[in-house]
Structure formats: structure tokens, C-alpha cells
Chains A and B, each alone.
Chain A
């Protein structure tokens, strides 16, 4: 099945830094979603984007829905240790069979030693 191209695959953060990750697709989506997964847990929805060009914030998180509808990025400002985890992007089409999401491969955020 199709997967979104998410980058970087992993990154190290230092407390206070801003970090950014993005997701690209060869096909368009109507909705982009960003999830965070803590170790040993299920993903939790962080931000949902519904319109091309939309910029949405949730606390220190900011995400944008690309104007072409084929990409999205997520920024985390002033990172803190609890930002560690795996971040997944997901695209969804309206009335997709089974309401299915297409997931990126994830960006693993780790703390700099």
C-alpha cells in the first residue's frame, strides 16, 4: 500500500530548540493529520488540517497543509524532554473506502545525549 514520505526519519533535540518535520505524497489528500506516539502506547492526534494552505497551532505545535495538497509540515517550538516520541503524518481522502488513513513512516524524536 501507499505510504507517505516522511522526513527526517529521526532527529535529536536539545531542550529549547525548534524542530521541524515534513511529509510529502505523490497524490493529493483532503485532510492531513499529525499524530504522536509515546513508547509502548498508541498514537494520539495532535493536529488536523482540513484546507489547502491552512496553518494551525496547538500550543507549541504548528502544522501547515501544503497548497498543492500533497505535503504538510509540523514544527515544534522550544522543545522539551516530553516531546520525545514518534510523530506520524497521515493523509485522508473524503469518502475514502473504509475511511482509511495513509500513514508516513514516522519521525523519531530523541534527546541529544
Chain B
């Protein structure tokens, strides 16, 4: 079955460390997205990519980095520059011109 997979489900990071969250899709979708969700809050866009080797900043890109070397993969790195990284991170994908996204099941990142 096609879908979008995020790993790991739970991630703990020490302060000052970089950490990379994985997102893989086998839906043949062109566009991929990363969102951050804080408790009781909505979804805020971090980065998105419409095509391989290209990506754009979203509303809260500071302290994050991404790459899009393959159509199927869009990893997100939370760097030490992100001052408040504890959150639930959601990856999504969509076909060009299609309506709506397919979401992954999320990664909960906790700084310890």
C-alpha cells in the first residue's frame, strides 16, 4: 500500500545537538512538506519542496534545514539553532495540482 512514513515515532535530543527526522513516501507525489505542531496549537509550515533539489522556506524555517535529493525522501534536520525544538513534527505530500495532502503519522521530538 502506498503511504508516507515518518521515523522515528519518538525522538529525544540533548540540548545543542542536531537531529534528523526522516520522511519517505511511495505515492509518487511531487511536493512534500514539513509542519510543526505545538500542544493545543495548529500546524505551522517549516519547509516545503515542489520538486527534487528544490525547497522553499515556510513560516518558521529558522533553526531547521531540509534536503530533497530524491523524490521519495524529504528529511528535516532540527539544528542547535532552534531554541525551542520540543514539538510534534508532521510530514505531508501531495501531487502537483492535486487538492489536499497526505500526512505521515508524525514524530514527537523532546529535548532533554
Seen from chain A, the residues whose Cβ lies within 8 Å of a Cβ on chain B are 1, 3, 6, 31, 33, 35, 40-45, 48, 50, 88, 90, 92, 95, 97-101, 103-106, 108
Contact = CB atoms under 8 A, between A and B. Distances in A.
14 contacts: A1-B59, A6-B42, A33-B99, A42-B6, A42-B90, A42-B103, A42-B105, A42-B106, A50-B99, A88-B43, A97-B56, A99-B94, A100-B48, A103-B43
A98 B105 contact: no
A92 B103 contact: no
B45 A1 contact: yes
B50 interface: yes
B31 interface: yes
Given A88-B43, A106-B42, A40 B108 contact: yes
A99 B42 contact: no
Given A88-B43, A108-B40, A98 B50 contact: yes
User: How many B residues touch the partner, as a band?
Assistant: 20 to 34
Contacts of A48: 99-100
B90 A98 contact: no
B17 interface: no
From A31, A33, A99, A106, residue with most partner B Cβ within 10 Å: A99
Interface string B7-50: 00000000000000000000000010100000011111100101
Given A99-B31, A99-B97, 11 more contacts: A35-B103, A40-B105, A41-B105, A42-B104, A43-B43, A45-B101, A90-B100, A92-B99, A98-B33, A101-B100, A105-B41
B112 interface: no
A103 B106 contact: no
Given A31-B99, A33-B100, A40-B106, A98 B56 contact: yes
